[in-house]
Structure 1
Amino acid sequence: MPALTRLHHRRLREIYRSAGWPCLDPVEIELLAAGLVERIASPEGRDWLRVTPAGIELLAQTLQRNRSALDRHERLVERVAHEQARTGRLAWRGLSLRARLEGGTAVALEPVPLMPELEAPPVPPSGRWCIARPDVYSVRHTSVEAYLEPVVHEIKVRRADLHSDLRHDAKRAAYLALSRECYYVIAAGIAEPHEIPPEFGVIVAHGEQFDGPLELARPAPKRQPLIDGRLPFGVWMALARAVPVEPPLDDGQGRL
């Protein structure tokens, strides 16, 4: 049997969801050879594809593995967010934040005057915008803007997801632009700290259910985000619309 890749699994799902029109390409040939799909002749003389019981079983196994990985990912995201809240920081999950990039590098946003009636209209900035969705975004609980120290934690529990993320330079640049420190929190055993770019810190999560220690394998270098350490107005609006994570109810640290 041919070795099945993600491309084969994706094509198998597409055949299952579609009317089964053949593509007549090497991927389809290998699926046919593996017995995961079969060709059915229509009365009009045209062939179409149907997923076999073996293909259905493979789809079910893949779905179960993906759900298990998602559950582990969400479990670790919750653990990291609660740790940030427990230490007195304000933490959010699943934010969508924008950063402006030029050539794959994040650049600072120029402040716009509050009363521009007597001035020339501002020139639209060059470059392109990138949407960053950090797993955990946190700031210090302070009344001084310069002391916010925003931090991004990106969670990875599978090696394939980590390497896919590291291939997107613009995504990583957006993380760095929106934070003073940026960490990759990885499940123990999926990668070594030296595999992650040096501008990121590394935290290793131990335990099958991530109930073990969060080991600081490499601290993140502190950077100056955006302009003079200030968050742009768009980030403030995103934080205003979202609800920060509450620390666990059984956590005695919050009562100190």
Structure 2
Amino acid sequence: MNAFAMQDGVVGAPIGPPPPAPDIPVPPTPPATHPPTPVVDPPAVDPPLVEPGKSPPVADPPPGAIALGRLHARRLREVYRSAGWPCCDSIEVDLLAAGLLERIRSAHGHETLRVTDAGIVHIASSLVVNRAVMSRHEALVEHVAREMTRAGRVAWRGLTLRAQLPPAAEGDKPRWCIARPDVFSIRNTSVEAYAQPVVHEVKVNRADLLSDLRKPDKRAAYLDLGGECWYVLGCDARGRPIGEPDEIPAECGVMVAQGDRLVVARSAVHRALPRLPFAIWMALAKAQPVAGFDDELQELLPGLDD
């Protein structure tokens, strides 16, 4: 066999996979080293603005912000249900600057106001708050009326009565006004002199209470209608009365609603009324009194039917 034959045999032989590489140990990765944390003083902390246990102070509004209150919401409702004639006062300026109103100029050059979409949203949000307050007010009015019927009296809600006010100046004629007490009640009697009418004015909001106390004519009208005038005060979200008895005029009594009870904080001054005016009797005859308690619908107590 010559050298060429050996070379042909080597060329024609199949070529297999290469032999595996020898295992080479991989050196371990050295652990990462972090520089030591320098020891420094902690950052300075501002002292608290209020003492522990007390409510934080009210933050000031940001610069340029317009604080919108109940007067602004009322003006928006008035513009929405009117022709939109401008009043040109500061409330209108605030509403225009806040984007709740916009000015519309007609072809004749007349300028009117229109409530924008943002103004509609503001009206809707204010109505939600008003409905919540009215629901609490109506619930307390119903409670007072029920307590009057439980005491054997005949009670009405939302009456419109004509009351007489003292003259504005000495020598003038007496004045007349229309009063709408929350609850008006009389004794369930057939003797006119024993009727003893009583007026209850219900307040569940402190701002409403303070506004009412600044109206002496309204209080004088209630005193003219009834022999007694009571202020029934609700409580705030924390369960505290919205007013103190010392804030109510001395001629009026004070009740505080505590849960399902009406607690007398100060008795009212009783004034004897010989008779009710004929106009009040006519108003009572036309109105529907609050339904009283029916003794026949109550079950007998255990042991009474033996």
Answer yes or no: same fold by TM over 0.5.
yes
**1:246 maps to which of 291, 301, 304:** 291
1:83-124: CA deviations, max 9, x gaps?
11111111111222222222269xxxxxxxxxxxxxxxxxxx
Q: Say whether residues 1:2 and 2:66 are aligned partners.
A: yes
SS at match of 1:203: strand
Cα contact 2:167–2:173 (8 A) shared by 1? no
- CA distance 1:182–1:36, shift in 2 (3 Å): same
Q: Name whichever of 140-149 and 37-46 sits farther off.
A: 37-46
**Offset of residue 183 of structure 1:** 0.3
Q: Which residue of 2 aligns with 1:194?
A: 246
Higher relative contact order (CA 8 A, sep 6+): 1
**Offset of residue 78 of structure 1:** 1.0
SS at match of 1:155: strand
**1:236 maps to which of 281, 289, 293:** 281
Q: Which residue of 2 aligns with 1:219?
A: 267
Cα contact 2:186–2:196 (8 A) shared by 1? yes
- CA distance 1:23–1:241, shift in 2 (3 Å): closer
**2:205 maps to which of 147, 158, 177:** 158
Q: Which residue of 2 aligns with 1:184?
A: 231
Q: Which residue of 2 aligns with 1:96?
A: 160
Q: Distance in 1 between matches of 2:249 and 2:142?
A: 24
Cα contact 2:165–2:224 (8 A) shared by 1? no
Amino acid at match of 2:218: K
Q: Distance in 1 between matches of 2:300 and 2:178?
A: 33
Q: Which residue of 1 aligns with 2:54?
A: none
- CA distance 1:22–1:88, shift in 2 (3 Å): closer
Give every structure 1 segment of 4 or more consecutive aligned residues whose post-TM-superposition deviation is greater than 6 Å. 43-46, 253-256
Amino acid at match of 1:141: N
- CA distance 1:202–1:253, shift in 2 (3 Å): farther
Structure with the greater alpha carbon radius of gyration: 2
**1:12 maps to which of 76, 82, 86:** 76
- CA distance 1:254–1:31, shift in 2 (3 Å): farther
Q: Which residue of 1 aligns with 2:115?
A: 51
Q: Distance in 1 between matches of 2:85 and 2:300?
A: 59
1:186-222: CA deviations, max 9, x gaps?
1123211111111000111134xxxx21111111111
SS at match of 1:50: strand
SS at match of 1:69: helix
- CA distance 1:133–1:19, shift in 2 (3 Å): closer
Cα contact 1:104–1:170 (8 A) shared by 2? no
Cα contact 1:104–1:169 (8 A) shared by 2? no
- CA distance 1:19–1:216, shift in 2 (3 Å): same
Report the number of matched residues: 230
Q: Distance in 2 between matches of 1:231 and 1:176?
A: 13
Q: Distance in 1 between matches of 2:83 and 2:279?
A: 44
Q: Name whichever structure is richer in strand by fraction.
A: 1
Q: Which residue of 1 aligns with 2:9?
A: none
- CA distance 1:252–1:22, shift in 2 (3 Å): same
Q: Which residue of 2 aligns with 1:115?
A: none
- CA distance 1:142–1:14, shift in 2 (3 Å): closer
Q: Distance in 2 between matches of 1:23 and 1:179?
A: 40
Tell me the C-alpha RMSD between the 2 structures: 2.9
Q: TM-score, normalised by structure 1?
A: 0.78
Q: Which residue of 2 aligns with 1:29?
A: 93
Q: Name whichever of 81-90 and 139-148 sits farther off.
A: 139-148
Unaligned segments of structure 1, at least 5 residues: 106-124
Cα contact 1:156–1:186 (8 A) shared by 2? yes
Q: Distance in 1 between matches of 2:107 and 2:100?
A: 23
